[in-house]
Structure 1
Amino acid sequence: MAGLQNRCELRHGLPRSWQRCADLLADPAGFERWRKLLGGWLRERFGEAPLQTTAGYVMSWYLYVPSYAGSLLLHHERRVPSLRPGELAFSLGAGRPHPDGIAVLGKDFYCLPGDPGSGRPEATVVAGERALAAVFRARYLAHAAQFVRAYAPISRLGRRMLWAAATDALDNSLWWAGRQGGDEGAGVVDAALVLDARYKPLTSASTLRLDEGRRWHRRRESCCFSYLLPGESECEECPRIHPR
């Protein structure tokens, strides 16, 4: 997802090449078209494109749109956008068909009392950082729930798998926002703040931890199904080889 790190922006109009989340959720056939694009890209590189793999990639890529948009704004501005599907959009890379840009279209946001924009009509002020984290979690869960409802029937992935992927996207995005902003520790703290416990239907609290080399890593909750591609094996933190 490195292509996203410099391309989360506020926009008030979209080029045709951008996809509004609400439009995709309202017409799940768009996910099938996305999977066909991905399948072509995978076949060029691996010779095969297993259906589970295309389903898993699109699942994870979509969920990073609301999770990463919210995580970046929380980390850098201590603000949370509404994250409604109608107020988020993304563009796909010209080659590898993954989201390489995210647009926050709405003006409404939640913020802390000391925010310089707290007096603006589109601002909703909350009491403190825990309240802001709770708002982010709730807004993300509302968006993820709409995705699960739309994607489960066409992907044939179980709802537990989809919510595990939603958990991974949120935990990873909070971590990455800090790391890519030059303060990995702050990203870990944000993940612990937002995911201080398991909030159902998410499947765990933050799983970030230090390894023996004093490096941060996390246990995955979901499977991307990359191991089904020729010559590929399970990811280092795959739940298939590291059961809970």
Structure 2
Amino acid sequence: MTTATTGVAAAVADPAASTPSASTAFGSTASASTASTPSASATGLLALGYRRLVATCEDLDARIARPGSAEWADALAPADGPAELDAFIGAEAARIREATGHEPRGDAAASRALNRHLWGVSLLMSGIWYLERRVPRIKPREIRCDRTTNSLRVLPGSAFACLPDDPAAGLRGARVVADEEALRAELRAAVADHARPLLAAIGPHTRRGPRASWGMAADCLISGIWYLGRTLGQEERAVQAATELLPEAIPPFPGGAGFRLLAGREGTQHRTRTRLGCCMYYTLPEARACQACPRTCDTERLRRLEEED
């Protein structure tokens, strides 16, 4: 039995099993093993995919959860009501106070909490799409975050969208779509459906209107794919994928990926984009606007990019 097949079988038997090595193959080669695993399930397959993704992405802090466990029960579900949302924002404010020694503005704490949460949830969905050509839907009730660290706790769902030639297309819970564009539409819808109730609930706290809020959701979706591509040494491929996913404004997202190149010294070029929304990071003590922030001019961006080189 191949490593990938063994991993799928283990995930089916125990969706909270240990994480495979980050060196496990991604993409269609690894996915093909599911065809020879009669006991494979959509839930087990998604759990395995999430573990591979987390093992690859250092900045994606997430774990597979067990429903009913103490860890799950104690975690926050920010879309579950005003008390949970207040605790979610309060936990972020406490992290900022601990890190900076200063009390953050209420809208800044809410915006930072929202940005961190949407980035991680979007990457869990977009990462499976990018690596496996499958789109899971993470419902708000299927994800929570640790009160102290904001680490995500996810319950793998029982369904995903996939392409006709996917070896897992015959699994119960697999929903076959026509082509790559249909799969991209599934990802856009999955992220939007997850974000919608949270954006509606947290809007009064962030003091941002719908356009700015959905701009942040688009930024989280695009930047997660970009980050994953850079992590894998596939930046060009990831930028192309993100651009095809959001080539322009597609409701409810108010703008496209918008990647562009800045000309640097000696003919060098640096890729950048301007965020559609603001994470409010610049309001924190001794912080400066993010590199992709609308407040940061191209001259300053280029200076920072060339310093990094």
The TM tier, using the shorter chain, reads: 0.7 to 0.9
Deviations 1:169-205 (A, max 9, x none): 1111121222223322221122012102211221211
SS of aligned partner of 2:161:
strand
Change (3 A) 1:238 1:19: farther
SS of aligned partner of 1:31:
helix
Residue 157 of structure 1 aligns with which residue?
Answer: 208
Deviations 1:80-114 (A, max 9, x none): 00222233x244385xx333x45252020000111
- Larger fraction in helix: 2
Residue 64 of structure 1 aligns with which residue?
Answer: 119
Residue 33 of structure 1 aligns with which residue?
Answer: 87
1:9 deviation in Å?
Answer: 6.0
Change (3 A) 1:139 1:44: closer
Aligned mates of 2:241, 2:73 — CA distance in 1: 28
Aligned mates of 1:75, 1:192 — CA distance in 2: 13
Aligned mates of 1:10, 1:130 — CA distance in 2: 29
User: Structure 2: any 5+ residue segments left out of the alignment?
Assistant: 1-53, 299-309
Change (3 A) 1:85 1:205: same
1:73 deviation in Å?
Answer: 0.2
1:149 deviation in Å?
Answer: 1.4
Aligned mates of 1:22, 1:91 — CA distance in 2: 5
Aligned mates of 2:170, 2:203 — CA distance in 1: 41
Of residues 87, 97, 112, the one that matches 1:43 is 97
Residue 136 of structure 2 aligns with which residue?
Answer: 81
Aligned mates of 1:168, 1:240 — CA distance in 2: 15
Of residues 212, 220, 229, the one that matches 1:178 is 229
Q: AA paired with 1:225?
A: M
Q: 1:34, 1:58 within 8 Å by CA — same for their partners in 2? A: yes
Of residues 150, 159, 162, the one that matches 1:111 is 162
- Larger fraction in strand: 1
Aligned mates of 1:233, 1:24 — CA distance in 2: 28
Instruction: Determine which structure has more spread, i.e. the larger CA radius of gyration.
Output: 2
Residue 257 of structure 2 aligns with which residue?
Answer: 206
Q: 2:75, 2:146 within 8 Å by CA — same for their partners in 1? A: no
Residue 220 of structure 1 aligns with which residue?
Answer: 275
Aligned mates of 1:3, 1:228 — CA distance in 2: 26
Q: 2:119, 2:220 within 8 Å by CA — same for their partners in 1? A: yes
List aligned pairs for 1:93-132, cutoff 5 A: 94=148, 97-99=149-151, 101-132=152-183
Residue 168 in structure 1 maps to residue 223 in structure 2? no
SS of aligned partner of 1:80:
strand
Residue 55 in structure 1 maps to residue 110 in structure 2? yes
1:128 deviation in Å?
Answer: 1.3
Structure with larger RCO (C-alpha < 8 A, sep 6+):
1
User: Structure 1: any 5+ residue segments left out of the alignment?
Assistant: none
Aligned mates of 1:9, 1:191 — CA distance in 2: 25
Structure 1 length as normaliser, TM-score? 0.85
Q: Identify the range of structure 1 (74-83 vs 148-157) with the bigger mean alpha-carbon deviation.
A: 148-157
Change (3 A) 1:127 1:22: farther
Residue 16 in structure 1 maps to residue 67 in structure 2? no
Q: AA paired with 1:110?
A: A
Structure 2 length as normaliser, TM-score? 0.68
Residue 235 in structure 1 maps to residue 290 in structure 2? yes
Aligned mates of 1:74, 1:14 — CA distance in 2: 28
Determine what percentage of the aligned residue pairs are the same residue: 29
Q: CA RMSD in A?
A: 2.8
1:236 deviation in Å?
Answer: 2.5
Q: How many residues align?
A: 238
SS of aligned partner of 2:88:
helix
